[in-house]
Amino acid sequence: MANRRIRPLLGRRQQVGHDAIDFDHRAMANCWSQAVSCEQLQFPFFISRLKKLMRTHFDHETALMERAGGQLCECHRREHRMLLDVCEQAAALGRQNWRKAQSLLRCRLPKLVRAHVDSMDQIAALFINTDSGKARTLGSAAD
């Protein structure tokens, strides 16, 4: 496994232009990279950390949208659940066969995450950035 090069979970193309969201994405991508290339003893730690980072990120997105005066649509929330479900499947599989669990994460999760970031998170970031900019402009005009 150590000799095999693994394509990163996310690339520059998946940056959405919101510092907090992009920061969370990088943290998840780094943890995913560790989970798919670690030793058996380390796998439960990294998969647990990945799930925690994902849940925290999803909570951040929800809060950012609410602060901007919106909310995540049901399809966005459904995709969040689906991504966590894949991690749950990998965690369960890892208890019997950690290599198959790593394979599941390597083969299934990247496509789903990239598609989610390229669509749902781009839209959310656009909404948040647009509303935040409007609020700053209105706030400074009132001063």
Domain count, the chain: 1
Residue 77, in any domain of the structure: yes
Report H helices in 38-73.
Answer: 43-67
Render pLDDT for 30-54 as a digit per residue (tens, 0 to 9). 999 999 999 999 999 999 999 999 9
Residue 10 CB coordination number (10 Å): 19
- Largest Cα–Cα separation, the chain: 62
Residue 121, in any domain of the structure: yes
Domain containing residue 84: CATH number: 1.20.120
The whole domain housing 59 covers 18-142
**Residue type for 62, please?**
T
Residue 126, in any domain of the structure: yes
Residue 4, in any domain of the structure: no
How many angstroms separate the Cα of 70 from the Cα of each of 39, 55, 113? 42, 19, 22
Residue 78, in any domain of the structure: yes
Residue 11, in any domain of the structure: no
- pTM, to two decimals: 0.84
Does position 133 have pLDDT exceeding 70, yes or no?
no
Residue 27, in any domain of the structure: yes
**Tokens read off for 15:** 């940056």
